[in-house]
Structure 1
Amino acid sequence: MATAYTTGIDPGRAIPARPWISPGLAGTALSGQPTLDGIRPALHARLTGAWLVGHNISVDWRLLHRHLPDLSIAGLLDTMRLAKAANLPSRLGLTNLLAHLNLTAAVTAAAPGSRPRRALWDTTATAMLLPALIRHRFISDSTLQQVTAVAGTPIARPTPAAEAATDPPPTLFE
Structure 2
Amino acid sequence: MAVSSGTRPWHTANLVALDLEGSGAQERDDEQILEIAAIRLIDGRPDLPTAYTTCIDPGRAIPARPWISPGLAGLALQGEPTLDDVRGDLIARLSGVWLVGHNIGVDWRLLHRHLPTLTVAGLIDTRRLAKAAAVAGKLGLSNLLTHLDLTGDVAAAAPGSRPHRALWDTTAAALLLGALIRRHFTAEPTLQQLVDVAGIPTETAAAARAAIAAPPQQSLFD
Task: Tell me the TM-score normalized by structure 2.
Answer: 0.68
**Where does 1:117-136 land on structure 2 (aligned, <5 Å)?**
117-136=164-183
Q: CA–CA distance in 2 between the matches of 1:15 and 1:77?
A: 30
**Where does 1:1-174 land on structure 2 (aligned, <5 Å)?**
3-89=50-136, 91-156=138-203
Q: CA–CA distance in 1 between the matches of 2:139 and 2:117?
A: 33
Confirm or deny: 8 A CA contact 2:126 2:177 kept in the other structure: yes
Q: CA–CA distance in 2 between the matches of 1:37 and 1:14?
A: 18
Task: Tell me which amino acid in the other structure corresponds to 1:139.
Answer: T
Indicate the RMSD between aligned Cα atoms, in angstroms: 1.2
Q: CA–CA distance in 1 between the matches of 2:179 and 2:53?
A: 24
Q: Secondary structure at the match of 1:134?
A: helix
| Higher strand fraction (1 or 2) | 2
Q: CA–CA distance in 1 between the matches of 2:179 and 2:56?
A: 31
1:74 is displaced (CA, Å) by: 0.8
Q: Secondary structure at the match of 1:7?
A: strand
Confirm or deny: 8 A CA contact 2:62 2:74 kept in the other structure: yes
Q: Which residue of 2 aligns with 1:160?
A: none
Confirm or deny: 8 A CA contact 2:125 2:198 kept in the other structure: yes
Misfit runs of 4+, over 4 Å: none
Percent of aligned pairs sharing the same letter: 70
1:20 is displaced (CA, Å) by: 1.5
Confirm or deny: 8 A CA contact 1:83 1:90 kept in the other structure: no
1:90 is displaced (CA, Å) by: 5.5
1:45 is displaced (CA, Å) by: 1.2
Q: Secondary structure at the match of 2:123?
A: strand
Q: Secondary structure at the match of 2:100?
A: strand
Task: Tell me the TM-score normalized by structure 1.
Answer: 0.87
Task: Tell me which amino acid in the other structure corresponds to 1:152.
Answer: G
1:23 is displaced (CA, Å) by: 2.0
1:91 is displaced (CA, Å) by: 1.9
* Structure showing greater relative contact order (alpha-carbon pairs closer than 8 Å, 6 or more residues apart): 2
Query: How many residues are treated as equivalent by the alignment?
Result: 157
Task: Tell me which amino acid in the other structure corresponds to 1:154.
Answer: P
